[in-house]
Structure 1
């Protein structure tokens, strides 16, 4: 007898919610049966576009729907904690968009609720499932890198401030600027490739040189010219890890970053070799007979990363497995982000303890 498909409800019908709806159409084991959004007309439009049977009038109504097994939360950062915690307490599995929460206090509440619920909470970090990321991870696990002791990661956009004046650029609604928006992706992928070491000290600085003047505005998001901008447009940090390794991180929405790639990048330096990932290319470097030898890393073949991510989510639900991008990884990311903001505010390094 074939198992019943996992019934999925989606909270948030905006751009990212729409991406999830399209992706789920290609997952045989899952079925989107309900959607809701603060804009009910948008939710109704998405339901018609994707053949979704029910539109709930509120997130609470969707979470009360006993036919739903799992929910995807794709709403502004400030709402992540309340919705994720309520979903877990109602017995739903959760796929949560990044960042986990608006700050580490809220992230800890989600983390604890996930542990108490016995349900799966998985972070939506699709970059882990990209063919290039999987190929690099395989090389690392094969021992080609030796011990990774230093890494540099970032994403420097020269002109890409999203939705000026909207929730994107309001700290009380987003938690921050490019650091929490795109920096969390690079932080998450770097720590994953490095073997998930724990951060112990963080030193960082943030800058707002262009956003307050309405410069460096990109095309993503809907601007609100009656709104405001009180987040950073560039962040830089050095993170010391409990295995002795260091990770430096630089991200921007807007910067005069002359000559630097705008693509996301990670440089991993190990005792046996090094790997650079810049955009869609990766290179492995090592010594042979005291000469530098470089070879290109070929991405692993397979389905698109979001499809692989959802297949993993379904597998974790079916088999009660801890996700690769677990609640703990989301909480760890939030603690680092908070520490960078605190270090920038105080000018001091921030020490993190783990019980």
Structure 2
């Protein structure tokens, strides 16, 4: 049985611990700077708690760790974990910039450690079914992808680390947009980026006290804190094979609910097309058959993406081979596109990869 350490006992760390237990793995240690918080999670899993990672690094019975902490800590903690001989499931994003990622890619290769990045939408029912459509050739040559997520009032932790660029690396683009970029890359076969035209906006969060919300992940807001990140981003990414990605992502916007669902992902190919909502329970598939255009709805079974992800990670640890999960190079490519979108927005022009 794989024995895990959980680094970060907040909401995401708790979800990873629950997923590990459901997958039959053992959560052996929990670390959080807030020892009380670490102890609350540890007691649920009969694990030990600590306020620093030294106990994990020195525990040879713990083979791997899950890192679920603010973005600015991803690189240094992943470096320390791999140097201590641990395999790592690292929450997204891989780092604040592609340069951060370069160090992790090199260290994982040199040390022989598994470093899987937590792009869990690969493991949803819709994500897995869409991949099967691609592999089966149902879509033919994919030439365009649409990846849209519009949260009407979804800014997380307003004024805290989520909205402080030095700690997060950015706003909605690096928080939610990376999931969409990764899923597009995963489904399209990891095409190489050619050009990016993008724009990042800061519209709602900058007016902290005027921001009207109904709920808030990682809330309540800290009105004395910082908001210096994007809450809406859009981009057109062109790949070297000629395919394109239309990316639209918002933490907050005034798009009427009747105009579009919260999320929509679509792949367009020369033989067929598929669309779905990111947390949906079905695919919409359009194909050509016997000289006719046909559409059908494909119902899908429920799946727990975090359980499937950590099972995939455990398999990679056991076999020393990556499965479905994001490899260091793939995760680095996602961050490179994020960097290019921010660069394009700042320069107000198309940028080249």
Q: TM-score range by the shorter chain?
A: over 0.9
Match of residue 253 from structure 2: 255
Q: Does 1:10 pair with 2:17?
A: no
Match of residue 329 from structure 1: 330
Match of residue 310 from structure 1: 310
After superposition, the Cα gap between the structure-2 partners of 1:262 and 1:75, relative to the gap in structure 1 and judged at 3 Å, is: farther
CA contact (8 A) 1:154 1:249 kept: yes
Q: Does 1:190 pair with 2:184?
A: yes
**Superposed, which structure 2 residues align to 1:114-153 within 5 Å?**
114-153=108-147
CA contact (8 A) 1:161 1:216 kept: no
Q: Residue 196 of structure 1 aligns to a residue in which SS?
A: coil
> Distance in 1 between the 2:303 and 2:228 partners?
39
Instruction: Report the TM-score, using the length of structure 1 for normalisation.
Output: 0.93
How many equivalent residue pairs?
A: 345
Q: Does 1:344 pair with 2:348?
A: no
After superposition, the Cα gap between the structure-2 partners of 1:323 and 1:82, relative to the gap in structure 1 and judged at 3 Å, is: farther
Cα distance, 1:11 vs. partner?
0.4
Match of residue 235 from structure 1: 233
Match of residue 220 from structure 1: 217
Q: Residue 44 of structure 1 aligns to a residue in which SS?
A: helix
Q: Aligned match of 2:148 in 154, 173, 180?
A: 154
Q: Does 1:83 pair with 2:84?
A: no
> Distance in 1 between the 2:212 and 2:59 partners?
43
**Superposed, which structure 2 residues align to 1:2-81 within 5 Å?**
5-28=1-24, 30-52=25-47, 54-81=48-75
Q: Residue 217 of structure 2 aligns to a residue in which SS?
A: coil
Q: Does 1:268 pair with 2:267?
A: yes
CA contact (8 A) 2:143 2:244 kept: yes
> Distance in 2 between the 1:170 and 1:119 partners?
31
CA contact (8 A) 2:150 2:253 kept: yes
> Distance in 2 between the 1:262 and 1:97 partners?
26
CA contact (8 A) 1:132 1:298 kept: no
Cα distance, 1:62 vs. partner?
2.2
Q: Residue 307 of structure 1 aligns to a residue in which SS?
A: helix
> Distance in 2 between the 1:224 and 1:68 partners?
37
After superposition, the Cα gap between the structure-2 partners of 1:349 and 1:216, relative to the gap in structure 1 and judged at 3 Å, is: farther
CA contact (8 A) 2:38 2:51 kept: no
CA offsets 1:41-70 (integer angstroms, 9 cap, x no match): 000111112322x11230243223222100
Q: Residue 162 of structure 1 aligns to a residue in which SS?
A: coil
Q: Residue 189 of structure 1 aligns to a residue in which SS?
A: helix
What is the Cα-based RMSD across aligned positions, in Å? 1.5
Cα distance, 1:253 vs. partner?
0.5
Match of residue 319 from structure 2: 319
Q: Residue 65 of structure 1 aligns to a residue in which SS?
A: coil
CA offsets 1:107-138 (integer angstroms, 9 cap, x no match): 11111111111010111122111122111111
Cα distance, 1:288 vs. partner?
4.3
After superposition, the Cα gap between the structure-2 partners of 1:104 and 1:25, relative to the gap in structure 1 and judged at 3 Å, is: same
CA offsets 1:70-112 (integer angstroms, 9 cap, x no match): 0000000000000001111111000000111111111111111
> Distance in 2 between the 1:233 and 1:255 partners?
8
> Distance in 2 between the 1:131 and 1:191 partners?
17
Q: Residue 206 of structure 2 aligns to a residue in which SS?
A: helix
